[in-house]
Amino acid sequence: MNGYAGVSRYVPFVLRWLALGVVLLVIEVLIGVGAINEYVVPRPSAIFGALYRVVVEEHVMTYFLITLGEVLAAAAGLVLVGIPFGVFLARKRDYWSAWGNWVAGLAAAPVVLLYPLFLVVFGRSPLTIIMISFVTGVAPVILKTVEGISGTRKVLLDVGRSFNLTEWQSFWKIVIPSALPAMFLGLRLGLIYTMITVVAVEYLITLGGLGSLVGELAERYDLAATYAAVCFVVAVSVVFFLVVERLEHWLRLSA
Amino acid sequence: MTKPGADRMAGPSRVLVIRVVTIAVLLVLWELTARSGYLYQDVVPTLSAIAGGIFEIVSNPDFYGHLQVTLLEIALALAIGGFLGVVVGIVIGANPFVGQIFEPLIYYLGPTPKIIFFPLLIMWFGIGEASKVAMGTISTFFPVALSVAAGIRHIDPVLIRVGRSYRANALQMATKIYFPAMREPFINGIRLAFGVSVIGVLLAETKFARDGLGFMVTRLYQQFDMPAMYGLVIIIFAFAIAVNWLLGRFVHAGKP
Amino acid sequence: MLQTSGEFAMTNGEQDAVLSVRNVVKEFATAEGPLRAVDDVSFSVGKGEFVTVIGPSGCGKSTLFAMIGGLLHASSGEIRIGKEKITAPHRSISMVFQEESTFPWRTVIDNVAFPLEIAGVNKNERYDRAHVFIRMVGLGGFEKRYPGELSGGMRQRVSIARALASQPDLLLMDEPFAALDEQTRLLLGDKVLQIQQELNQTIVLITHNITEAVQLSDRIMVMSYRPGTLKREIKIDLPRPRSSEIVSSDEFGHYVATIWGDLREEASRGMQDAEERGAGGK
């Protein structure tokens, strides 16, 4: 981001939250005055109150853990299937030539639109969510793994050969460490698509987890709680994004 | 320094063989699963049933009505979201100070599951087409705003100074300096936006709607008309991929 | 006409040579027909000698480097280290490559201890031995740093220390200082001479830099442009121990002039060739 000369780092941060606060205040006033119908948009103060209620009474933790569990299950798939498959494609160029474009197509395709089919095949169960989120997230993992492995610098492989490393030793001591940064980047991208798909499908089929919570509250016409739940989900999603970003950065530096 | 006996390049015929065999194997596995009786009837319909379903959809006049509604919703979403995205993108891109304050908001809000806003949109707009257009608008807004902001930020500052030195007014600056520089990032943003707005609109239609392709899918599901549902989902999926691909070619054709 | 192997002095008799290269030829099959990169090269290197192979770009010296290092098979001819024929990378030969070759994900000490790790030496012992060589190249104190934190010259020193760590009979280097600036190059050259003294290390250096060759070597082999043959051998009679100060002496200038006389002809043939290829090819 462009630096703005002479302004301390924290000023934009403070101003940002100040601006948000002002907007919320204006909305509060407009509702109080009747300019905005409070049966459509609850007062921000009511939303804050509902936030407490949602967290404590609605057992938001349970919902959160369900979502987290589904995300982790899909993530396990990304690591246990996506990476080895990427390694396979990187080493067998024939198969990469044959399937590479298909994987790239999968990465760009709107897989989540197929959710009715997954629903029918896997039933109304967490498995549906895990499977479709896995499919959505696995393509970038595979692509980046192939990129990392086939991009190993030739001179490093030559160093290995000059010390008479076996193929196996060369793979684990040179190729994999060299490919780790790209693999972590792929995992970061995959995890984000996965998380988005998990919450979205939870909402669409109302099956436990944070996405489902929002839908349930909306059906009960509990306006303030619905808004609060939406804010909560957005907050969780942003935190997840930040954590994954940090994690990838840290792993890349220490790899 | 080549390894003694380096691998020779894969012949194109071997690649073709792998592809054909893969597709054949997948189709055979699908058909076997469908006929096995292992799953509840029609959960995995036979390939011929699915083909029949596709035909059924395409020959159903209702389909075209719903298609029209969906296309209209997508078009409106792109137009409105695109417009808002451009305006906001220009504002946060042109002014570094404003940009530093607000761009992170947009950047971090971008990768959230936007469908989560849909219940709120229903409250505001009802279950008619307007709420779907709103959903698509939100999806479109983020990639466009971020692309345009980045594009504006990367305009060579010399060009801006030249404009100012000739005392161009705001409108002239906009049309002669900013707009041309913005064209490519905007097109890239729209490409991304198209993908996500199609998803946003369709998913919203499957949840709460009175018409549109997504609504048609849900209705077929509730009627348990699986072959037709499979057929429709495949048609939608193929259509979304095709348009994405076309847009990609269109973008590259325009490049020097 | 090609100069045959018999004209080159084999130091200390061939039997005692650390490295003996005999009638080595390398031909590559290309789209335009067979390309002879190296044509009937022979020489030998005795214990503790510093021999440099110098030639213009494209003369096949890197190909020769790869063959001595066992990364490439010769089309004909034979290369021996001691009494053993080289058919694959030999444990008594260590290579230092021209490009950046440190492992960026390992610390300096893990880089240097790498060959010992492969040989199965336990951690404490290999760290102790690696320390010796790290200090020898002047990087004492940098053991726990990562290559990314070091300058280009320091990274090449790590590569050299790593090559020395397996205590090879022959140290083989391919333009190790090519990417460095002149001053760093001279200072690192000093370092290498110091190390050679201390270990009585046999070294073969490939380079295109005349100053470097004269500064460091006991003997210089001048290669012709493709197909690469040994055009001439020059014995450097400058006193040892040497330091970089020697570059200002008269004899130094004399050697450089002689070598340049040989090289100039080959180098301009190379340039002509490249121009013709550029004009006709595209």
Q: What is the ipTM of this complex?
A: 0.85
What one-letter code names the amino acid at C203? I
**pLDDT of B4 strictly over 60:** no
Q: Which of residues 76-95 of B touch A (CB under 8 A)?
A: none
* Confidence tier at B5 by pLDDT (50, 70, 90): very low
Size (chain A), residues: 255
For residue C227, the model assigns a pLDDT of 83
Based on C-alpha coordinates, what's the Rg of chain A? 23
* Chain C residues near any Cβ of chain A (below 8 Å): 69-71, 88-89, 91, 93-95, 97, 99-101, 103, 105-106, 114-115, 118, 166
pLDDT in tens, chain C (282 residues): 333 344 444 444 455 788 888 889 888 888 888 888 888 899 899 999 999 999 887 778 889 999 999 999 988 899 999 888 888 998 899 999 998 899 999 999 999 999 999 988 899 999 999 999 999 998 989 999 999 999 988 999 999 999 999 999 999 999 998 888 888 888 888 889 889 988 899 999 999 888 889 989 999 999 888 888 888 888 888 887 777 777 788 888 888 898 888 888 888 888 888 888 776 544
Own/partner contacts of B12-16, CB < 8 Å, gap of 24 or more, are B14/A94, B15/A94, B15/A97, B15/A98, B16/A98
Mean pLDDT across the stretch B198-224?
91
Neighbour-count burial of C245, counting CB atoms closer than 10 A to its CB (0-12 exposed, 13-18 middle, 19+ buried):
exposed
For residue C14, the model assigns a pLDDT of 52
Is A177 close to C105, i.e. CB distance below 8 A?
Answer: yes
pTM listed for this prediction: 0.84
For residue B194, the model assigns a pLDDT of 87
For residue C116, the model assigns a pLDDT of 93
Q: Which of B16, B38, B116 to mutate to test the interface with A (most CBs of A within 10 A)?
A: B116
Which residues are within 8 A (CB) of A158 and not within 5 positions of it... i.e. 6 or more apart? B1, C71, C95, C97, C101
DSSP secondary structure letter of residue B8: P
DSSP secondary structure letter of residue A38: T
CA atoms of C280 and C282, how far apart (whole Å)? 6
How many CB pairs below 8 Å do chains A and C form together? Answer: 43
For residue B254, the model assigns a pLDDT of 55
For residue B6, the model assigns a pLDDT of 45
Q: Is B15 on the interface with A (CB under 8 A)?
A: yes
Highest mean pLDDT, choosing among A76-85, A204-213, B53-62, C81-90: A76-85
Mean pLDDT across the stretch B121-140?
91
Residue B173, phi then psi, degrees to nearest 5: -55, -45
Shortest distance, CA C51 to any CA of chain A (angstroms): 20
Mean pLDDT across the stretch A114-142?
93
For residue C69, the model assigns a pLDDT of 92
Highest mean pLDDT, choosing among A27-31, B18-22, B184-188, C54-58: B18-22
Per DSSP, the three-state class of C100 is coil
* Confidence tier at A254 by pLDDT (50, 70, 90): low
**pLDDT of A38 strictly over 80:** no
Is A242 close to B108, i.e. CB distance below 8 A?
Answer: yes
Which residues are within 8 A (CB) of C154 and not within 5 positions of it... i.e. 6 or more apart? C139, C142
Give the pLDDT confidence of B100-125 residue by residue, as tens digits. 888 888 988 888 999 999 999 998 89
Give the pLDDT confidence of A140-153 residue by residue, as tens digits. 999 999 999 999 99
For residue C67, the model assigns a pLDDT of 92
Mean pLDDT across the stretch B196-225?
91
* Confidence tier at A6 by pLDDT (50, 70, 90): low
Mean pLDDT across the stretch A210-221?
89
* Confidence tier at B159 by pLDDT (50, 70, 90): confident
Residue of C nearest to A159 (CA): C101
Q: Which of residues 125-164 of C touch B (CB under 8 A)?
A: none
Q: Is B137:B80 a contact under the CB 8 Å cutoff?
A: yes
Mean pLDDT across the stretch B75-84?
92
Mean pLDDT across the stretch B175-191?
78
* Confidence tier at A255 by pLDDT (50, 70, 90): low
Residue A40, phi then psi, degrees to nearest 5: -110, -45
Q: Which residues in chain A touch residue B229, judged by CB atoms under 8 angstroms apart?
A: 116-117, 120
Which residues are within 8 A (CB) of C166 and not within 5 positions of it... i.e. 6 or more apart? A163, C91, C94, C115, C116, C119
| Sign, Cα dihedral of A107, A112, A116, A119 | positive
Residue of B nearest to C65 (CA): B1
